[in-house]
Amino acid sequence: MRKIRAIILFSLLMMLAVLQPGSAQDSTAVSESEYKNKILLLPAIGSSPETGFMFGAVAVAQFKMGSAGLETRSSSVLVSAIYTVKKQILLSMLPDIVWTGETWIASGNYFVNYFPESYWGVGPSTDKDDEVTVLYTQVNLEQQLLRQVAAGFFTGPYLRWSKLYNLTFEDTKGNRIAVPDVRGAEGVVTAGGGWIARWDRRNSNMTPTRNHFVQITLLGQPAWSGNSHYYMLYELDARKYVPLKKEARSVLALQALIQLHSGSPPFSDMALLGGDRINRGYYRGRYRDQNAAQAQAELRQNLRGRLGIAVFAATGEVWRRFENISFATYKWTMGAGLRLNLNREDPTNLRIDVGFNKESIGFYLQFGEAF
């Protein structure tokens, strides 16, 4: 059924894009005329290994603050309400507000989920047959407020509060099982803050085609703030976008993501491999541990009008201690996908990807580029 759904969606979107009139253009260049604020209202119909088939609604507002001109990238607010065939409920809001002149950037991640998901244990060598289902409710509040202190350089505080509760564990047949011996299996409350340093010269937040993005994140979850588990996160996210042809019709996108933890993160906050953004094809969290390093490359090609394609490959690994890292067990994925531009004035893509590896295949229908 997943293959049938993917084929139908691919066919429909190819027809829509080919029939859409319009000449080729830089896939992220905002028109030099006055910026037009826009609200996109979309039915949310998609699929991923984590959710199966999902449906609901998504609203995306793209706008610029006040009298912001070409020197200011657009702001966006994405609100979604999703239900899946795996009986998951996902309510989320993702604001990304850019002040005029990019003096400040405020980004958030707010969601409430009831999310049964698969869990295989901790470590780089968990067996596929170790799969169990964990059911839980999660409330998550995250907020960043960054100040531009030099051209393209932003820094500021990062706050996070999250609660994971009502946890139960089942085997793959739906039978209740004993709670596994893993940190956070009885529930998790984390509250803390940290600091972000960002060097961001991308020409678009939603669909970048040139320049780079480098961000260092430090996040602490101290004992005095009411945490059930105490740890520090050190994260490096580096991305490069290289236009290969005029008007950015072909773009090579690269990303390296390193996540390191000290202390005792719960299983839900460990470094995760896989998902809809990196190492596509692996279920998000198929492998998890104290630390992870992942890298990916993607070639994006505009075909005609609103239609584009992409091919990608990625690798990565998780580990507990640095002396235990083994290149022999590094994971890999590769795949391809379609892109459909939903906003001609400020390009924003609907992304359909198929990723695979030696043990699984993942189908993804998502809003926005993976990175």
Q: Where are the domains of the chain?
A: 2-90+192-367
Split at pLDDT 50, 70, 90, the class of 1 is very low
Domain topology for 2-90+192-367: Porin (2.40.160)
How high is the pLDDT of residue 259?
98
Could you give the CA distance from residue 349 to residue 300 in angstroms, rounded to a whole number? Answer: 12
pLDDT in tens, 176-231: 999 888 999 999 999 999 999 999 999 988 899 999 999 999 999 887 777 778 89
How high is the pLDDT of residue 357?
95
Could you give the CA distance from residue 296 to residue 282 in angstroms, rounded to a whole number? Answer: 13
Residue that the structure tokens 């199966």 belong to: 52
Give this prediction's pTM: 0.84
DSSP state letter for 175: -
The proportion of the chain whose per-residue pLDDT surpasses 90, expressed as a percent, equals 65
How high is the pLDDT of residue 194?
97
Average pLDDT over residues 85-101: 92
How high is the pLDDT of residue 33?
58
pLDDT in tens, 271-297: 999 999 999 999 999 999 999 999 999
pLDDT in tens, 97-137: 999 999 999 999 999 999 888 999 999 999 999 999 999 99
Could you give the CA distance from residue 129 to residue 127 in angstroms, rounded to a whole number? Answer: 5
Instruction: Please report the sign of the dihedral spanned by the C-alpha atoms of residue 44, residue 114, residue 356, residue 360.
Output: negative
Split at pLDDT 50, 70, 90, the class of 41 is confident
What stretch of H or E contains 167?
Answer: strand 153-170
Phi (first) and psi of residue 247, to 5 degrees: 60, 20
Here the tokens at position 5 are 């759904």
* Contact (CB, 8 A) for 308 and 337: no
Could you give the CA distance from residue 248 to residue 271 in angstroms, rounded to a whole number? Answer: 33
